[in-house]
Amino acid sequence: MRVLIVEDDVPVAQGLKQGLQQQGYTVDIAGSAEEADRFVQSEAFDIALVDIGLPKADGLHFVRQLRSRGDALPTLILTARSDMDDTVRGLDAGADDYMTKPYRLPEVAARIRALIRRAHAVADACLRHDGVCLDTARHVATLHGEPLDLTNREWAILEMLLVASPTVVSKDKLVQRLAGWDKDITPNAIEVHVSRLRAKLASSLVVIRTVRGIGYRVDAAVE
């Protein structure tokens, strides 16, 4: 997998590059939005990590340029800004995810894996995992080729877990996702939905594991 880091702070960029290379990624660094744009128009990348506070044109300008020409390259915004307005602006510009500094490398790597998997799932239209298929284009779920009846909440939970697999998804993240249907959703309600999902997936190899005090995870696919 090839990663483009768009960051003008050389020590930060080099530190991130070294950490990702140790995890097996091929990494390039662009020090400006202009350089990053030249990179993506001449080379193929799996994801871009973009700092907002770049010289001249900022990181959001780069993301907008990508989206304006139909480039769906997954982008993860990395910034020192924690203001909610900045988060909204970043996502509205077309970024896929957002992290504030200081960040930990394991979380950055987990976000990268999740975004790349999500991009591949969209491209394939079907998110597959050990006999389960979530057809994201038609919003149809199947288990071993047979219809799998999921509620919207169950679908959302299962989708998050499969995209993140094998990393853990916290209960807080699941609550945030389901809040679109029910603003009063609670961690206890998440447990109920997960219990029902487990029952529906009992004949599959997809096992939703509880990580005590944190949330849930699904093991990596074995097929």
**Which residues make beta-bridge pairs with 146?**
143
pTM listed for this prediction: 0.56
Listed in order, the ranges of the chain carrying CATH 3.40.50.2300 are: 2-119
Closest CA to 131 of 142, 122, 140: 142
Picking from 23-37, 150-164, 167-181, which range would have the lowest pLDDT averaged per residue? 167-181
Query: What's residue 220's pLDDT?
Result: 76
Q: Which CATH architecture has domain 125-218?
A: Orthogonal Bundle (1.10)
Residues of the chain with CATH 1.10.10.10: 125-218
CATH fold, domain 2-119, is Rossmann fold (3.40.50)
Residue 55: Cβ within 10 Å count: 10
Mean pLDDT of the chain: 86
pLDDT (0 to 100) of residue 81 = 67
Structure-model confidence comparison of residues 117 and 149, the more confident one: 149
The answer to whether the CB of 2 falls within 8 A of the CB of 46 is yes
Q: Could you tell me which residues come within 8 angstroms of residue 197 by beta carbon, excluding any fewer than 6 positions away? A: 150, 154, 157, 158, 208
Residue, of 85 and 207, whose pLDDT is higher: 207
Q: Which residue has the higher pLDDT, 39 or 122?
A: 39
Q: Which two tokens stand for residue 50?
A: 């973009």
The DSSP element (H or E) to which 164 belongs, if any, is helix 152-164
